[in-house]
Chain A
Amino acid sequence: MTQTPRAAVDGPGRPGRWRSAAETALPYVLSVGVALFLSAGLVAVTGNSWLRVFGALLDGAFLEPGRWGETLIVATPLLLVALGMVVGVKAGLFNIGQEGQLLVGAMAMAWVGTRLHGPGPLLLLLGLALGMAAGGGYAGIAAVMRYRRGVPEVISTLLLVFLAYQLNGFAIQTRWLLRDLGATGPSRSVATAALPESVRLPFVRLFGNEFHVGLLVALVLAVLMAWALGRTVWGFRLRLLGHSTFVARSTGVSAARSGSLALCLSGGLAGLAGAVMLAGGASGYRVGTSFAQNYGWQGLLVALLARTNPIAAIPMAVVFASLRTGSGFLAATGVDRKIVEVVQALLVLALLIPPAVQFLRRRRRAVAAAREEV
């Protein structure tokens, strides 16, 4: 099978390039337009004005005082989870257990913060490191199952999410694990104690908005990830593995070793996201039963929408975060905030279509070209 050179299809020179650029952009514009149109239609059905809804979303996400800082805080764990997803997908691994890995990472952070004693900054760093290790270790279970017994990681990571919910539920009720020792009453308290002041992430104040330094960490990691995947031997091996296990093996890349490492790193970043969320003030610095709040699932979608490009994941994470923070302002318009989930899902579906159509079209052209040669 040979890939037909673009020039042979479009004709040489500039016009072809312009045409192909338009051909690439147009389907995206169209399908996103249809997704937004459907969302607006859904709002209209409820008898509300989509303009007001859009305005409320914008207010909640950026315009009202202090809101864009909040949006950036929400974007941070989304970006971290997305980076983890990127590593996995590049290596051909589909880790969809971020929701659980994130929760496990937050649990580790909570344990360090509420049970260990020592200087604050040290504990904070230890907590973040342990959170990452916990997330990575949790994903490591899936890695072991995959490379020792051939269990597909999609299923095992998915099942591990639900196990993590129960694990968390158990830990926060158990005295020797994470239960809030200060709380009185039997098993009424369903959250850990709040992280002490000294173990929280420091905040940056900018133009009346606040965000924690976790954002900077995530941004640095995104750039680092882009560099490592694109410019290092490790990244090359990983991508090789993702393209073809066979080629990777024949060039001396151990699928088990590189793949396990990628899966653990993938989970580790999700775990770090959980630790950062907790230390950055999510749900009042406490881990409760609903701590993860779909951050894992959404971070995964962020990575896919960014087409597994670490840099493109940054604006995508902000878009998703703004939908989240903006949805808090929807109550005033009388539209259920669930509309935001619908919009998100429609956007994802819409952005899946153009590359698939393009792929099929190229295949068809390649087949046609091959036929002519014969």
Chain B
Amino acid sequence: MGGFLDALGDIFSSPTMYGSAVRLGAFLAFAALGEVVAEKAGTINISVEGSLLGGAFAGTLGYHYSGSAPVGLLAGMAGGLLVACVQANMSHRLTADQFVVGLTANVLVLGLAGFLNGMIEPMAKRAPIVEVPGLSDIPLLGPALFGQTWPTYLLYGLIPLTWYLLYRTRWGLEVRAVGESPQAADVSGIDVNKRRRQAIYYGGILCGIGGAFLVLGQVGSFDPGAVGGRGFIAIAAVYFGAWRLGGVLLGCFLFGLADAFRLALPVLGHELNAQLLASLPYLLTLLVMYAITKQFRQPAALSKPFVRGLR
């Protein structure tokens, strides 16, 4: 136990720890922000995992062929969007089951990215670190939040954008209506499945940015196992935060912190159970879901397909 407390002390006083927590959490946050919008519209979008990987691979390709990180970022967005298109059109234009489509899309992207990666072997490079003058001088949190590679800062723009879209625009209102009561939304003239598809597209683009951020802003190279189930942690974060942006972001940061903690342990020379730390996000989310689902209602039509005239 003493060892554990020592480790805690060492780690929470190390600024690199917060930096890596923000990096790992930011990756989750890109995906989770998109997932919130998709779930508000009534889809549990399992294909975030595939969107992230598609974004990461497309981003790598974009960088490989153009040598420019912004182009890579745009390519990543396109890659994420492409996966989202499959998910959205299969589940909300046709009426295939959204989970089946999502799982299959994940398998497809994993296979395709692995296959093409072995064939093309694209190269990527990490974007340079840009320190925001002034803000990065704040002790401890400053360098963590404002001493990152530039793609990280996109997140700080996307958070208010997502909030604004969801809660201050007509589109957002319709998206939320479609997730709460599709029948009522339909009667008032909203194209339910179109809004749901658009919500998934938005999520796909954000995942694409997240994937490109992973390659160009964090790791610096592509590996088919790079996402490795973290798309599902992003979904867990949405449940952890009970579909509220603040809570979801907090979840992402906490899960990022747990991950950073796990990665930092061996470096600082502490022996602690890595499995326990790696399972923390899942364990926490399960516990939180068990504790709060009764109080925080999920979108009422979550995961229920809509076909006019059928209930």
Contacts and interface: CB of A to CB of B under 8 A. Distances in A.
B160 interface: no
B35 to A, nearest CB: 12
Interface stretch (B147-155, B176-184, B275-283): B275-283
Contact of B107 (A336, A341, A352): A341
A166 B235 contact: no
A169 B275 CA distance: 7
B108 A167 contact: no
Interface string A61-102: 000000000000000000000000000000000101000000
A166 B278 contact: yes
Contacts of A158: 46, 232, 235
A336 B293 contact: no
A359 interface: yes
A159 B285 contact: yes
B293 A149 contact: yes
A345 B44 contact: no
A356 B273 contact: no
Contacts of B266: none
Interface string B74-108: 00000000000010001000111101110111011
Interface size class of B (residues with CB under 8 A): 35 or more
Contacts of A342: 108, 111-112, 115
A167 B111 contact: no
A120 B239 CA distance: 46
Contact of A341 (B99, B114, B273, B286): B114
B246 interface: no
Interface stretch (B11-19, B26-34, B302-310): B302-310
B119 A155 contact: no
Contact of A163 (B94, B99, B279): B279
Contact of A300 (B90, B103, B108): B103
Contact of A170 (B107, B273, B302): B273
A297 B123 CA distance: 31
A349 B104 contact: yes
A348 B100 contact: yes
B95 A367 contact: no
B309 A367 contact: yes
A155 B289 contact: yes
A1 interface: yes
Contacts of B298: 152
B260 interface: no
B229 interface: yes
> Chain B binding site: helix, strand, loop or mixed by DSSP?
helix
Contacts of B282: 159-160, 162-163, 166
A155 B282 CA distance: 10
Interface in A135-164: 141, 145, 149-152, 154-156, 158-160, 162-163
Interface in B246-288: 273, 275-276, 278-279, 282-283, 285-286
A339 B289 contact: no
Contacts of B273: 170
A342 B117 CA distance: 13
B105 to A, nearest CB: 8
B100 A304 contact: yes
A344 interface: yes
B110 interface: yes
A167 B279 CA distance: 8
A349 B111 contact: no
B104 A150 contact: no
Contacts of B286: 141, 145, 156, 159-160, 163
B263 to A, nearest CB: 15
- A151, A304, A360: which has the most chain B beta carbons within 10 Å? A151
A219 interface: no
Nearest to A366: B309
Nearest to A357: B94
Contact of B99 (A46, A150, A154, A356): A154
A231 interface: no
Interface in A284-332: 297, 300-301, 304
A349 B90 contact: yes
A318 to B, nearest CB: 19
B290 A345 contact: no
A349 B309 contact: no
A339 B101 contact: no
Contacts of B233: 162
A94 B104 CA distance: 15
Interface string B145-185: 00000000000000000000000000000000000000000
Contacts of A300: 103
Nearest to A340: B111
Contacts of B104: 301, 345, 348-349, 352
Contact of A96 (B95, B103, B115): B103
Nearest to B110: A341
Interface string A34-57: 000000001001100000000000
22 contacts: A1-B310, A155-B236, A156-B286, A156-B289, A158-B46, A158-B232, A159-B232, A159-B285, A160-B286, A162-B229, A300-B103, A342-B115, A344-B107, A345-B108, A349-B86, A349-B108, A352-B90, A352-B96, A352-B97, A352-B100, A352-B101, A353-B90
Given A162-B282, A166-B276, 4 more contacts: A170-B275, A336-B118, A341-B107, A356-B95
Top 6 closest pairs, chain A to chain B, by CB: A341-B111, A345-B108, A356-B94, A166-B279, A342-B111, A338-B114
